[in-house]
Homo-oligomer: A and B are copies of this chain.
Amino acid sequence: MHDVAAAAGVSQATVSLVLNDAGGARFSEETRQRVHQAATMLGYRTNAHAKVLRDGVAGMIGFVGDSVATAPFAGKIIEGAQARAWEAGLLLLTVNTAGDQELEAASLEAMLSYKVAGVVYASMFHRIVDVPPVLGEVPAVVLNSQDRAGRFPSIAPSEELGGYTATRTLIDAGHHRIAFINIGRVEDALPAVVGRLAGYRRALEEAGLPALPTHYKTGDGHEDGGYRNTLELMAGPTPPTAIFCGNDRTAWGAYQALATLGLRIPGDVSVVGFDNQESLAPHLRPGLTTLELPLLEMGRRAVELILDGAEATGRTELLECPLIERDSVGPPAHLPNQRTGTA
């Protein structure tokens, strides 16, 4: 642990807290990553590995997910869950059900019969789920979603705070005309859709800015929804000087629409995304300022709760989505070309 602390440039106490996922929000994501990287680099292992090698077969934690094929996010959640499980000497056994109820039932039954230490029940997009009652037999955590019946603890991103931060970032850069392209219909009640919108409205209200109906668009979470809605926004009576896009794919569409119109980012229009999708956000030109879904941390935290015995309460733990600043936010075009705020 001494070596890890030295390599990461932090105290031994910090190493211990970070590796045990304790300390809450006291440490930045950057510090946490530095500690984990140093631990990995130095081959730092808990005593659990010695025990596994001594006793033979390792224990298991089950991970049941509803989708992998269409989920660019699944990998990081699983990576985080697995890293934490393996630190405790446990294997993470993953079954992807693709929403097949029979497969899900058979998988859970198999996991329970193999005496898993607990089960992570994960949704690949944030939503409200009906959790199979059989999960009451072991410590279970609902991940990236919330238990409709309120029995199981759950881990999810703080969508509202993320939407607030995205909008606040644009306000701080001097923008007054900020549009929002949502990623679905409010009626469908997905937490990401409802929460990010609520955060957008709170930030506007707090700054005394009106939430113009003409500045609100319902996209579909895909590139095309960003493209079409951006064209509509820019053709409107009071075109926005900044667009908060409900996810990075929507922002990608906004980029293409603005390019079609001959408008520069951020010179003419600023853009903020959501997700920090690693195959997309850093590769857009200019790089996209966006909110990061804390996927690794969500996976780690779910396993941590199981290791702690995951009491069967419906408490939802919301993890913060940090702002990742790149180059898509600047002052509004009608102001002198200098930064006017914290963005």
Binding site for B on A (CB under 8 A): 45, 49, 52-53, 56-58, 60, 68-72, 74-76, 78-79, 82-83, 86, 91-96, 98, 100, 102-103, 106-107, 109-110, 113-114, 222-224, 249, 252, 256, 259, 278-280, 283, 285
Contacts and interface: CB of A to CB of B under 8 A. Distances in A.
A106 B57 CA distance: 7
B93 A93 contact: yes
Contact of A86 (B94, B103, B278): B103
A100 B89 CA distance: 13
Contact of A224 (B57, B86, B283): B283
A53 B279 CA distance: 41
Nearest to A78: B68
A324 B68 CA distance: 23
Given A68-B78, A69-B75, A75-B68, A222 B106 contact: no
B91 A58 contact: no
Nearest to A109: B57
Contact of A72 (B72, B100, B106, B285): B72
A321 to B, nearest CB: 18
Given A86-B100, A224-B283, A259-B259, A91 B106 contact: yes
Contacts of A98: 79, 82-83
Contacts of A68: 74-75, 78-79
